[in-house]
Amino acid sequence: MGLGTRRALWAYTFLLVPLLFFLTIRLAPAFSALYISLHEWNIISPSKPFVGLQNFRLLAHDPSFGRAAVNTLRYVLVGIPAQIALGLVLALALQRINRFRGLFRALYFMPFVTPIVAAAWVWQWMYSQNFGPLNGLLAELRLPLQPFLRSPAQSLYAVTAMTVWQFLGFQVVIFLAGLEAIPRVYYEAAAVDGASGWRLFRHMTVPLLNPTLVFSAVYGTIVYLQLFTQVLNMTFGDQGGPLASTLTMVLYVYQLGFQRFKMGEAAAATAVLFAVILVITLLQMRVLSKPVEY
Amino acid sequence: MRDPKTAFVYLALGAGAVVVAFPFYWMLASALKPLTEIYDLRLIPAHPTLANFTEVLTRTRFPRWFGNSLIVAAITTASVAFFDSLVGYVLAKLQFPGRGVIFVMILATLMIPTEMLVIPWYVMSSAYGWINTYWGIMFPGLLSAFGVFLIRQFMSGVPDELLDAGRMDGVTEFGLYWRIALPQIRPALAALCIFTFLGNWNAFLWPTIVIQTANMRTLPVGIALFSGEAGSAWNLIMASSALAVLPVLGVFAVLQRQIIEGITLTGLRS
């Protein structure tokens, strides 16, 4: 046996268990989800008839699915710009200071490592209508008290605020790395040209930071499209909030598949989510594959 | 700090830090308040007590849930560390037919969202009797495609001369990976371990589906159900949250630099 063949055999031996894993636990279930989405699939009932695209049609006519889709879009459209803007401001501020930079960075990062379930309950308590510190502050300032999670108009933004709080530190770290990757000479050249302040930021920092911005927007969007734990735990007694105002796609899937046992329909909803994430990922690849011109 | 602009930056950062840290403070303050004081908005408990913590620890199965989470997170992390680094090494350093196809296949699984897989996983777990078992909680996380991708990047940087020298000395193929390549990528492996551990420690969607009895609950599932049943006993809910958050923050305080730099190390390469 040649040396090359021997090494190849070793490679296959090492890859055996991992490949089995990726095939049976990742790839096959993805196809299985598509298969289930074409069937009337109730875990309790032994009969699982093929129904074609019936489940997708049911989804299209289910107001809750529409609600979940619109809400999920709103989470993305509100949360991502807020997170990116705040993250960029904080990263620029951290770059300006010399002392306590590590301390601030660590403080802002803390929510990112905190168990989401625990954090969600703390925020629910903070938003409490009569006993929460947020309304306590409003009362001190002689402003009208707010219902927050109890209001169909406010609950989605209340959950978004908690999510931004959670990911802000991560965003800051990503931006700090992006800012550090900008070669010093550009700043020196800009200083020679007399550019500073807003002009420097707008015409130099932002274009050079573009790959980081695209990465943040795409990564963030994928995370926000999959919001579940925060929503379930912040509106625990009334899953999905008042009038389904906080309901997300994943929470909808969870309720449909595991509380109402309509797994065919739930699988169809996940197929829709998968298609959306796939399109976003492919778009990102196209945008990011363009070389950055310094 | 003579520059007023810099002073303003410090001030703004300080104010932001207070806002970000406040939920942690409120959690702790509420956890230390007796029930009679819990609806009182004062920032510092008038009669601080540890009774809430003892009640959570003795009345619920909190220690058991903590142990379950520890077992699940430790085993998945060990498995990911071993298999992902092995696959990353093989894909970066060994030549064999099908290498490209295998790599693309593993990468492609990254695009599949977990939500899409939980339904088939549940069907599979019911068929094989994995519901409500440790194996059932753990099996989806035993390998990570992201980890393979990450480690492969770093393994590519290990010089071939090092491996060839090892081969000359008669090191086995497994030894080349384990004794020569692996020590070279320690920072990346450490970052992968930390994030895998955190991810499994905090995991909620799949555990909440597959776990059915109180004894099998992981910490997040236990806290969610305990809090849901505790009604308005917010002092107990906050004490249980604090018990879940404080160990994580303790670890974070020690490994803070590695964790944050791990993001840069791993995030920017992807």
Asked if residue A17 is part of any domain, the answer here is no
User: For chain B, where are the alpha helices, taking DSSP H only?
Assistant: 4-31, 51-59, 62-93, 99-108, 114-128, 134-138, 145-156, 160-168, 173-175, 182-184, 186-202, 205-210, 219-229, 234-267
Burial class (CB in 10 A: 0-12, 13-18, 19+), B118: buried
Q: Quote the minimal CA–CA distance from B127 to chain A in Å.
A: 10
Chain A 225-244, residues with CB within 8 Å of chain B CB atoms: 225-226, 228-229, 232-233, 236-237
Whole-number pLDDT of residue B2: 64
Rounded CA-CA distance A190/A199 in Å is: 10
Q: How many folded domains does chain A comprise? A: 1
**Backbone angles phi and psi of A50, in degrees to 5:** -70, 130
pLDDT band at A1 (very low <50, low <70, confident <90, very high): low
Rounded CA-CA distance A157/B25 in Å is: 22
Whole-number pLDDT of residue B27: 96
Is B111 in Cβ contact with A278 (below 8 Å)?
yes
Whole-number pLDDT of residue B269: 41
Helix (H, G, I), strand (E, B) or coil at A115: coil
Is B90 in Cβ contact with A14 (below 8 Å)?
yes
**Backbone angles phi and psi of A98, in degrees to 5:** -110, -40
Asked whether the predicted pLDDT for residue B217 surpasses 60, the reply is yes
Asked whether the predicted pLDDT for residue B268 surpasses 70, the reply is no
Asked if residue A44 is part of any domain, the answer here is no
* DSSP symbol at B214: G
Q: Among candidates A255, A235, A254, A253, which has minimal Cα distance to A245?
A: A235
In this structure, what CATH number is given to the domain that contains residue A262?
1.10.3720.10
Is B20 in Cβ contact with A165 (below 8 Å)?
yes
Asked whether the predicted pLDDT for residue B270 surpasses 70, the reply is no
Is B119 in Cβ contact with A266 (below 8 Å)?
yes
Q: What is the mean pLDDT of residues B34-59?
A: 91
Q: Can you read off the two tokens belonging to residue B102?
A: 């295998």
Asked whether the predicted pLDDT for residue A291 surpasses 70, the reply is no
| Chain B residues within 8 A of A177 when measuring between CB atoms | 263-264, 267-268
pLDDT digits (tens, 9 = 90+) for A244-273: 999 999 999 999 999 999 999 999 999 999
Asked whether the predicted pLDDT for residue B266 surpasses 80, the reply is no
Asked whether the predicted pLDDT for residue A48 surpasses 50, the reply is yes
Which of A1-10, A281-290, B67-76, B103-112 tops mean pLDDT?
Answer: B67-76
Is A116 in Cβ contact with B115 (below 8 Å)?
no
Whole-number pLDDT of residue A68: 96
Rounded CA-CA distance B207/A19 in Å is: 24
pLDDT digits (tens, 9 = 90+) for A123-144: 999 999 888 999 999 999 999 9
Asked if residue A9 is part of any domain, the answer here is no
Q: Which fold has domain B62-267?
A: MetI-like fold (1.10.3720)
Is B87 in Cβ contact with A18 (below 8 Å)?
yes
Of B232 and A161, the structure prediction assigns the larger pLDDT to A161
Lowest mean pLDDT among A83-87, A239-243, B193-197: A239-243
pLDDT digits (tens, 9 = 90+) for B111-150: 899 999 999 999 999 999 999 999 999 999 999 999 999 9
Asked if residue A68 is part of any domain, the answer here is yes
Neighbours of A144 (CB within 10 A): 7
Rounded CA-CA distance B94/B140 in Å is: 27
Rounded CA-CA distance B191/B263 in Å is: 8
Burial class (CB in 10 A: 0-12, 13-18, 19+), A137: exposed
Direct distance between the N- and C-terminal alpha carbons of chain A, in angstroms, rounded to an integer: 52
DSSP line for A163-214: HHHHHHHHHHHHHHHHHHTS-HHHHHHHHHTT--HHHHIIIIIHHHTHHHHH
pLDDT digits (tens, 9 = 90+) for B64-90: 999 999 999 999 999 999 999 999 999
Rounded CA-CA distance B240/B234 in Å is: 10
Of A236 and A229, the structure prediction assigns the larger pLDDT to A229
Asked if residue A232 is part of any domain, the answer here is yes
Q: What is the mean pLDDT of residues B256-265?
A: 86
Q: Can you read off the two tokens belonging to residue A284?
A: 């990102």
Burial class (CB in 10 A: 0-12, 13-18, 19+), A184: exposed
* DSSP symbol at B157: T
Is A14 in Cβ contact with B41 (below 8 Å)?
no
Whole-number pLDDT of residue A292: 54
List the single residue in B89, B115, B260 with the smallest CB-CB distance to A270. Answer: B115
Report yes or no on whether pTM surpasses 0.90: yes
Residue % of chain B over a pLDDT of 90: 84
Lowest mean pLDDT among A22-31, A205-214, B127-136, B191-200: A205-214
| Chain B residues within 8 A of A93 when measuring between CB atoms | 9, 12-13
User: Is the distance from CB of A155 to CB of A149 less than 8 angstroms?
Assistant: yes
Asked if residue A8 is part of any domain, the answer here is no
Q: Find the domain containing A157 and state its range.
A: 62-289
Asked whether the predicted pLDDT for residue A12 surpasses 90, the reply is yes
Q: Quote the minimal CA–CA distance from A139 to chain B in Å.
A: 11
Largest CA distance in chain B: 75
Asked if residue A19 is part of any domain, the answer here is no
* DSSP symbol at A100: S
